[in-house]
Amino acid sequence: MRLKEGEKISIIGARQLAEEDSFFAGHGLPVLSAILAKKLYNPNLKICFESGAIYSNPERLPHSVSDIINYSSSQFQLDLPDAFAMLERGDVDVVGLSGAQVDSKGNINSTLINAGKAIKRLPGSGGACDFASLSRKEYIFMFHEPRRLVDKVDYITSPGLQTRPDKEINLITNYGVFKISESGVEALILANDTSPEKVKNNAGFNIDIKDNAKMLEDFTREEIELLRKLDVYGVSHR
Amino acid sequence: MNKIISLDEFSKQVKDGTKVGIGGFDLHRKPISLVLELSENEQLRDLELFGISLALEADILIGSERAKRIISSYTGLENFGQCYFFRKGVEEGRVVPTEMSTYATILSLQAGALGIEYLPSKTMLHSDMAKNNPLVRIIESEFTGENLSAIRAYNPDIALIHAQEADEEGNVRIANPPATKVDEFLARASKKTFVSVEKISDKIENPNISGLYITGVIHLPGGSAPTSLYPLHDVDSVAMELYGKGSRERDLKYCKEVIRNAIERRREN
């Protein structure tokens, strides 16, 4: 079965969430990964949404952060201020988010792109800046492309490593999993259909590939079929 | 005091440059009928829009050239696309945005509701959004010496909210969730609050928003379509898709038509 790049990101992400306890899921690929992880690898994963749906178990990808399916399937129904307060208090400190660009310090841009003299305007932060500012561990979901993995983001919407000294950031792309730390960006897991050249040439920052980087296990039919059933809005279809 | 008013009476309250706080969140429980009414007022200019997370309601006001400023954490249609009137407006400099995170917009209204100057948080520290932002200052905690973002209170001139029901005195019932709490902050933070409702009821006990904070109630069934109104109505996906296409082509007439039809459909259901 031939996979789309977004589908690879979603499945790689889901495998990473196998060991997590609770997780604030940003819209799009992070939430798709979280739902897949809960169904396949981690039935106890406590999925939380900024809208206040806490310990949620949606049966499909929600159409938006405010989708009722997040609430109707959740153990606790809080409201927006309470959900963000859970992050500020540190009740939940693992988050997943995405954006248009990421740099080697884990800064994410979802506000605007500099296109020569003009700017290209994006929808904005939403809760992403809050997720990044108030978490200890972050999963960043991004397509492995030079225009997205950049040396310096055009705008820091969601700050990276500078938010706290013990910050853990894992970048999840269609080429694998990469650890972002003060000592640089290092490959932890590499997809088996990529190469060190592809990984490096499609990033605007240096990625260190050591011998101990693991190879990704093959995607399974079960993963692919379930993912396609969940992704009713096709956010992974590219 | 009977607070039930007509749409026309509401419309007269909004003047050029008014700071308009928009209730609901994301694609949920937006005051679409009230916004549509403002979009039709050819004389109205330079509104400042404030919302936790804005969508087509902000897009349509910008497309109708009613708004000059926008304060929000997000302006888009989620899985249904982008707000192109907003996007072009900002790109061409006709609309000035103030960038906020979602939590920051909430704290801003909460501070406004409490009547205090600001609320502190660790969000937005190190974000470019905090630079030259009239609603954010980086301060040092008097207790720990740590840096904090001081999120300044925001007090709209007028708030627009859509809800399930209200009584004559303006007591409002909103079926949870989400955004019920933030709409209560919004009503308390605003100088005047207008609420459109599906239904006018007899006395509402234990309201989500007290009539004390409500200026006027307008009976507008279907007034949040095509956004959701749980538990009865999910997002009108068909209308949202069509709106997304219309916005991409920046066809204002078509976009308004899509919204009117969605309101009509919901009213009949």
Q: Which of B79, B103, B129 sits opposite A157 (nearest CB)?
A: B129
CB atoms within 10 A of CB B188: 20
Q: What is the pLDDT of residue A1?
A: 77
B53 to chain A: which residues are within 8 Å by CB? Answer: 65, 126
Q: Would you say residue A236 lies in a domain?
A: no
A73 has a chain B CB within 8 A of its CB: no
Q: What is the mean pLDDT of residues B107-123?
A: 98
Please report where in the chains the tokens 């502190």 appear, as a residue. B120
* Domain contains A141: yes
Distance from CA of B8 to the nearest CA of A (A): 31
Q: Where are the domains of chain B?
A: 7-13+24-101+154-268, 102-152
* Helices A5-16/A29-40 angle, 10° precision: 50
Closest to A66 measured CA to CA, from B246, B196, B74, B44: B74
Determine whether the interchain pair B26/A64 forms a contact, defined as Cβ–Cβ distance below 8 Å: yes
Question: Which chain B residues are within 8 Å of A78, Cβ to Cβ?
Answer: 177
Tally of domains in chain A: 1
Average pLDDT of the residues in B1-8:
96
Contact of A201 with chain B, judged by CB distance below 8 Å, is answered with no
Give the DSSP letter of residue B110: H
Q: What's the pLDDT at A2?
A: 87
Of B75, B83, B101, the CB nearest to A127: B101
Å between B94 CA and nearest CA of chain A: 13
CB contact under 8 A, A66 and B86: no
**Cβ of residue A233 closer than 8 Å to a chain B Cβ:** yes
Fold classification of B7-13+24-101+154-268 (topology level): Glutaconate Coenzyme A-transferase (3.40.1080)
Cα–Cα distances in angstroms (integers) from residue B79 to residues B7, B118, B187, B244, in the given order = 32, 34, 29, 10
Report the DSSP pairing between strands A137-141 and A168-173: parallel
Tell me the ipTM for this assembly: 0.97
Looking at residue A116, what is its pLDDT?
86
Full residue range of the structural domain in which residue A128 is found: 5-230
Distance from CA of A125 to the nearest CA of B (A): 6
Nearest to A159 among B74, B75, B126 (CB): B126
In a domain, residue A238? The reply is: no
Q: Which two tokens stand for residue A55?
A: 């310990």
pTM listed for this prediction: 0.97
Question: Please, which residues bridge with residue B125 across strands?
Answer: none
Whether B117 has a pLDDT exceeding 80, the answer reads yes
Q: Specify the residue for token string 């019920």.
A: B180
The closest CB to that of A80, out of B179, B228, B234, belongs to: B179
Cβ contact B177–A53 (<8 Å):
yes
Structural domain includes residue A237: no
Instruction: Give the H/E segment covering residue A215.
Output: strand A214-215
Residue A235 is assigned to a structural domain of this protein = no
Whether B94 has its CB under 8 Å from any CB of chain A: the answer is no
B238-268: string of b/e by CB count within 10 Å (b at 16+)? ebbbbbbebbeeeebeebbebbebbbeebee
Q: Is A106 within 8 Å of A140 (Cβ atoms)?
A: yes
The DSSP 8-state label assigned to residue B78 in this structure reads: G
B235 touches chain A (CB under 8 A): yes
CB-based contact A6:A28 (threshold 8 Å): no
Please check whether residue B112 touches A, CB under 8 A. no
Mutate to test the interface with A, among B57, B94, B128, B228 (most CBs of A within 10 A): B128
pLDDT along chain A (238 residues), means of 10: 94 98 97 98 98 97 95 96 98 97 98 92 98 98 98 98 96 98 97 95 98 96 98 93
Instruction: Mutate one of B29, B91, B101, B146 to test the A interface: name it (highest A CB count within 10 A).
Output: B101
Q: How many H helices and E strands in chain A?
A: 7, 15
Question: Out of A64, A126, A233, whose CB is closest to B102?
Answer: A126
DSSP conformational letter for B53: S
| Angle between helical axes of B237-248 and B56-63 (0-180°, round to 10) | 30
Among B103, B127, B128, beta carbon nearest to A127: B103
- Asked whether the predicted pLDDT for residue B176 surpasses 80, the reply is no
* pLDDT higher than 90, residue B269: no
Q: Find how far residue A208's CA is from the centre of its chain.
A: 21
User: Helix A221-230 and helix A29-40: axis angle, to 10°?
Assistant: 130
What is the rounded distance in angstroms from the CA atom of residue B154 to the CA atom of residue B149? 15
What one-character-per-residue DSSP string does A3-36 give? PPHHHHHHHHHHHHGGG-SEEEEPTTHHHHHHHH
Report the interhelical angle of B180-189 vs A80-89 (nearest 10°): 100
B122 pLDDT above the threshold of 80: yes
The average pLDDT across B117-133 equals: 98
* Residue A172, pLDDT score: 98
Of A66, A120, A133, the CB nearest to B228: A66
The pair phi, psi for residue A120, each rounded to 5°, is -110, 120
pLDDT one-digit tens code per residue, B227-254: 999 989 999 999 999 999 999 999 999 9
Which residues partner with B82 through β-bridges?
Answer: B76
- Of all residues in chain B, the one with the smallest CA distance to A84 is B103
Smallest Cα distance from A189 to chain B, Å:
29
Start-to-end CA distance of chain A, whole Å, equals 15
Q: What does the block give as tokens for B111?
A: 């501070």
Residue A206 lies in a domain: yes
The token duo for A165 is 């000294």
